[in-house]
Amino acid sequence: MLDLRSRVADEIGTLSTIADLLERQSDAASLAKALGYANGLVERADKMSREPRPPNASADKWLQEQALTRAAAYALRARIQAVSRRDDQALADDQKSYDAYPTSRVAERLGDLEAQKGATARALDDYATAFALRDPAADPAQLDELRRKLGSTYVTQNGSEKGLGDLVLQRYDSLMRDLRSRYDTRVRSSAPTHDPFASVLLRPDGSAVHLSEYRGKVVVMDFWATWCGPCIMEGYLMERIVQAFHNEPQAVFLAVNVDEDRSRVTDFVKHQRWTIPVVYAQGLDNLLEVHALPTLMILDRGGHVVFREEGADANTDGFVQRIRQALDHPATAAIARP
């Protein structure tokens, strides 16, 4: 029987698919049914936050998983609320999602909702937060759109863009103080580090995987654990993504397990019917500073981290695009070894 974490992860994936369909075509009855389902999901995610820590999970990663699960549940309910034109409820849910685990995407949605209400000052505050939290490796078009929203809202409030840079810097400094550990990870993630291609991982059967064999290729890694509910959803999404690149020999996919107790891993993978190759991290999670599960990461052909995302996100289109962008770039010089 699946435990509460597994059920919540499965339901987040299902509801995300429902939300995608409703955004294209919806009716009152379907929206009401989806909203009822979302309410139950939020209740179970909140209940999960009161569960005791599994014995094979570290305290910090367990807290991260609880936060990510609550954030995902509230964000998905916010999407249903928004499609239902319940803007106030969507705003409240997105705020709870942000409070559970701050991200640029949710902060931007908060800004959009505030802007729709004519609350320019609050929208500006949210857009500045989203811009300060932005991922430098995100789609440039998305960053340009966020920059446009931030600039136009600032001009509406102040008459010109004079002082906008100071506002963003102040917000960045404030967030750095409040979210120090999270920002430390983000700032370092795109900087050169020790060469991950020098790592040797292990398959569940005990055979070695030398990442050096993949030098010159694009390596996509999904860091996960058996006790991590959102990792189950991420695993399903990764299966879809792998299929999209099944004819691309230059793309390598690995499900990197970080369980301290590995006794459940083989049976877990069989039960989930994953086809993506599974390997044990052997310290690679520490080298690449993985502090939350799941974490998706893309290494370019030279071993540089060009994309990092914490938490399960059912919108796979952007991630597929990031992989294609990495594949389009020729090999660069490998990261210098220590």
Residue after which a domain boundary falls, among 160, 186, 212: 186
Q: Do 172 and 201 share a domain, yes or no?
A: no
Q: pLDDT digits over 212-270, tens only?
A: 899 999 999 999 988 887 788 788 888 889 988 989 999 999 999 998 878 889 888 88
Calculate what percentage of the chain has a pLDDT beyond 90: 30
In a domain, 336, yes or no: no
Work out the average pLDDT over 167-181.
78
What pLDDT sits at residue 232? 82
In a domain, 103, yes or no: yes
Residue after which a domain boundary falls, among 186, 210, 233: 186
In a domain, 323, yes or no: yes
In a domain, 335, yes or no: no
Q: Do 150 and 213 share a domain, yes or no?
A: no
The CATH number covering residue 87 comes to 1.25.40.10
Domain that holds residue 272: 196-328
The CATH number covering residue 278 comes to 3.40.30.10
What pLDDT sits at residue 16? 58
Work out the average pLDDT over 281-302.
88
Residue after which a domain boundary falls, among 131, 153, 186: 186
What pLDDT sits at residue 180? 59
Q: Do 52 and 103 share a domain, yes or no?
A: yes
Work out the average pLDDT over 136-159.
86
What pLDDT sits at residue 58? 67
Q: Do 225 and 258 share a domain, yes or no?
A: yes
Q: Do 174 and 230 share a domain, yes or no?
A: no
Q: Do 71 and 215 share a domain, yes or no?
A: no
Q: Do 164 and 214 share a domain, yes or no?
A: no
In a domain, 256, yes or no: yes
Q: Do 80 and 176 share a domain, yes or no?
A: yes
Q: Do 165 and 220 share a domain, yes or no?
A: no
- Asked whether the predicted pLDDT for residue 272 surpasses 60, the reply is yes
Q: Do 281 and 182 share a domain, yes or no?
A: no
- Asked whether the predicted pLDDT for residue 1 surpasses 60, the reply is no
In a domain, 338, yes or no: no
In a domain, 248, yes or no: yes
In a domain, 191, yes or no: no
- Asked whether the predicted pLDDT for residue 178 surpasses 80, the reply is no
- Return the HEC string of the chain: CCCHHHHHHHHHHHHHHHHHHHHHCCCHHHHHHHHHHHHHHHHHHHHHCCCCCCCCCCHHHHHHHHHHHHHHHHHHHHHHHHHCCCHHHHHHHHHHHHHHCCCHHHHHHHHHHHHHCCCHHHHHHHHHHHHHHCCCCCCHHHHHHHHHHHHHHHHHHHCCCCCHHHHHHHHHHHHHHHCHHHHHHHHHHCCCCCCHHHCEEECCCCCEEEHHHHCCCEEEEEEECCCCHHHHHHHHHHHHHHHHCCCCCCEEEEEEECCCCHHHHHHHHHHHCCCCCEEECCCHHHHCCCCCCCEEEEECCCCCEEEEEECCCCCCHHHHHHHHHHHHCCCCCCCCCC
Q: Do 182 and 219 share a domain, yes or no?
A: no
Q: How many domains does the chain have?
A: 2
